[in-house]
């Protein structure tokens, strides 16, 4: 990650609470990155507890899929080698009023370099759905049940 992007991430972390208060709607993109052993990539951030899919906010003049590509690369060093499959759009309104998350299933990708921890990311790892780390978010668990177990989709994160 370039110094400019890293400083932008730090600034974004500081300003995130202000954006949540002043914007009517926020939109994020997250990727369910699945490896050859059907394990999923999860990220633990430094600024919030728990484990989540890699992803983040959609910037001005970005589509959901472009934001997904950028976030996967920035947070985990994951590069898409084919388009990701759109899974759904979920309202995260219990945590942040007006927040929505677009979720994509990522089956074709490469990770030339596993990124070391950063100011934003504490750690990352691949996990079997039956052996998720303690603190995996409820929304993350629900999306995995939908994708792997055929659970009905919910509109809420």
- The candidate with the shortest Cα–Cα distance to 84, out of 139, 41, 138, is 41
If one counts the domains in the chain, the total is 1
Residue 156 lies in a domain: no
127 located within any domain: yes
The answer to whether residue 124 is domain-embedded is: yes
In a domain, 57, yes or no: yes
What are the tokens at 147? 């994708």
**Using 50, 70 and 90 to split pLDDT, how confident is the model at 119?**
confident
Average pLDDT over residues 113-133: 89
Predicted local distance difference test score (pLDDT) of residue 4? 45
Rounded CA separation 11/132 (Å): 31
Q: What 3-state class would DSSP assign to 48?
A: coil
Range in 20-34, 52-66, 123-137 with the lowest mean pLDDT: 20-34
Range of the domain at 15: 3-149
Assigned domain for 58 exists: yes
User: Do 76 and 115 contact (CB within 8 A), yes or no?
Assistant: yes
Say which CATH number the domain at 42 has.
Answer: 3.90.79.10
Average pLDDT of the chain to the nearest whole number: 89
Q: Is the pLDDT of residue 156 over 70?
A: yes
**What are the two backbone dihedrals, phi and then psi, of residue 88, each rounded to the nearest 5 degrees?**
170, 170
Has residue 88 got a pLDDT over 90?
yes
Please report the pLDDT score of residue 61 as a whole number.
93
Please give the residue that has the higher pLDDT: either 50 or 94: 50
Check pLDDT > 70 for residue 1.
no
């Amino acid at each position: 990650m370039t110094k400019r992007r890293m400083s932008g991430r730090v600034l974004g972390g500081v300003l995130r609470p202000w954006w949540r208060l002043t914007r009517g709607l926020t939109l994020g993109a997250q990727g369910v990155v699945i490896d050859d052993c059907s394990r999923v990539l999860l990220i633990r951030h430094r600024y919030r507890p728990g484990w989540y899919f890699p992803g983040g906010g959609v910037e001005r003049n970005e589509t959901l899929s472009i934001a997904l590509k950028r976030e996967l690369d920035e947070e985990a060093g994951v590069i898409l080698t084919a388009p990701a499959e759109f899974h759904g759009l979920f309202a995260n309104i219990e945590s942040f009023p007006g927040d929505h998350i677009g979720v994509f299933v990522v089956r074709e990708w490469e990770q030339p370099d596993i990124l070391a921890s950063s100011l934003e990311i504490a750690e990352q790892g691949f996990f079997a759905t039956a052996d998720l780390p303690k603190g995996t978010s409820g929304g993350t668990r629900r999306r995995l049940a939908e994708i792997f177990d055929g659970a009905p989709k919910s509109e809420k994160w």
